[in-house]
Structure 1
Amino acid sequence: MERVRFWNKVLVLCFSLVWLINGLFCKVLNLVPRHQQIVAEILGETYSRPLTIAIGISEVLMAIWIISRKFSKLSAIAQILLIVSMNIMEFVLTAHLLLWGRLNIVFACCLAAMIYYQEFVLQADLERRNRIA
């Protein structure tokens, strides 16, 4: 059970770091300008910087939500829906700006599957074991 608990915590930390890094460093601090280019191409150039910052702040808030473990099932569902919908939109509209082009959708689906596994398999197993003990 300790191994399951350890990997569950590692995955939660990794997911929150993905959101934090993409939100704070890539978008808010604009260390990866490609993110703002994607926003500009989808939503227009005029407000692309403030919109990119707003998206980045939202991603930082997602990282905090994940770490807090409050309403974790809702958090997992929100993450999965956001990842899949954002990546489908980028796949269709801005594949040329993506780090791995159209292959990005494969990595997005793998991340979504890992989030599902962490929350609805590992976490559920821990909760079941705690009820039994």
Structure 2
Amino acid sequence: MTNKLLHNIFKTLIALVWLINGLFCKVMNYAPRHQEIVGEILGTDYAVLLTKAIGVSEIVMAIWVFSGVKSRLNVILQIAIIAVMNILEFLLVPHLLLWGRLNILFAALFLLGIYYNEFILKRKLIL
């Protein structure tokens, strides 16, 4: 498998994670625990609206990932957003997470994949 193909597969999978979580889990509310998490952290009064707004933001992130525009900035923002979100959830609402406190391990693996794809695999393509 070529580095370019592997890079494109990774990029597509990363974009799909954002799209699925944004569209299906938050906007369409197929995973109500996302709204519960938002409600418990930010308050229940606006949990529905905020969850949908977060979902739309994730859909935009998916489009940005797939576009490849300013990919380094995109990756830095992805890493920061995912790290902050998962640390907050780990500390504040571990009981609502799919795998409890182990969620942070899966988030770390996802972050490593995002980093690897942009800063290691893509660099090999340039060289």
CA distance in 1, matches of 2:108, 2:59: 21
Q: Which amino acid aligns with 1:11?
A: F
Q: Percent identity?
A: 53
1:82 aligns with 2:73: no
CA distance in 2, matches of 1:10, 1:81: 22
Q: Which ranges of structure 1 fall in alignment gaps of 5 or more residues?
A: 129-133
Which position in structure 1 is the counterpart of 2:48? 49
CA distance in 2, matches of 1:7, 1:81: 24
Deviations 1:60-83 (A, max 9, x none): 000000000000011111111111
Q: Which ranges of structure 2 fall in alignment gaps of 5 or more residues?
A: none
The alignment's TM-score, normalised by the length of structure 2, stands at 0.99
Q: What does 1:103-118 align with in structure 2 at a 5 Å threshold?
A: 103-118=102-117
Query: What is the CA RMSD across the aligned residues, in angstroms?
Result: 0.7
Bigger Rg over Cα: 1
The alignment's TM-score, normalised by the length of structure 1, stands at 0.94
Which position in structure 1 is the counterpart of 2:10? 11
1:125 Cα deviation from its structure 2 partner? 1.0
CA distance in 2, matches of 1:83, 1:109: 9
Which position in structure 1 is the counterpart of 2:25? 26
- Structure 1 segments, 4+ long, off by >6 Å, are none
